[in-house]
């Protein structure tokens, strides 16, 4: 998964993720990946309108906008 996310860093494409947050809630986010390292992903979150950090282990699925989710 990490190598594919690195592709999104280079392409600057928006993707949608389903993410398990710290409270155990599943959230859907549209993001633009900035960097991937040490088990974390730094991304601009269009919902929160700021840069956020996401734990890779908490990403349940991901995909390009308008396509079926992958991973």
Looking up residue 16, the CATH number of its domain turns out to be 2.30.30.100
Q: Give the confidence band of 12 by pLDDT, cuts at 50, 70, 90.
A: confident
Query: Looking at the domain assignment, is residue 26 inside a domain?
Result: yes
Mean pLDDT computed over 27-36: 94
Query: Looking at the domain assignment, is residue 42 inside a domain?
Result: yes
Q: How far is residue 22's CA from residue 13's CA, in Å, rounded to a whole number?
A: 26
How high does pLDDT run on average in the chain? 87
Q: How far is residue 49's CA from residue 45's CA, in Å, rounded to a whole number?
A: 6
Query: Looking at the domain assignment, is residue 17 inside a domain?
Result: yes
Query: Looking at the domain assignment, is residue 71 inside a domain?
Result: no
Mean pLDDT computed over 13-31: 95
Number of compact structural domains in the chain: 1
Q: Which domain holds residue 9?
A: 2-64
Beta bridge partners of 28: 18
Q: How many helices (H) and strands (E) does the chain have?
A: 1, 5
Query: Looking at the domain assignment, is residue 18 inside a domain?
Result: yes
The pTM assigned to this predicted structure is: 0.80
pLDDT for the residue 69 = 46
Beta bridge partners of 64: 15
């Amino acid at each position: 998964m990490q190598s594919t996310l690195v592709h999104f860093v280079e392409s600057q494409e928006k993707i949608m993720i389903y993410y398990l947050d710290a409270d155990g809630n599943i959230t859907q986010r549209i993001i633009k990946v900035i960097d991937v390292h040490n088990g974390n992903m730094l991304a601009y979150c269009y919902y929160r309108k700021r840069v956020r950090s996401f734990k890779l282990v908490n990403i349940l699925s991901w995909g390009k906008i308008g396509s079926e989710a992958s991973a």
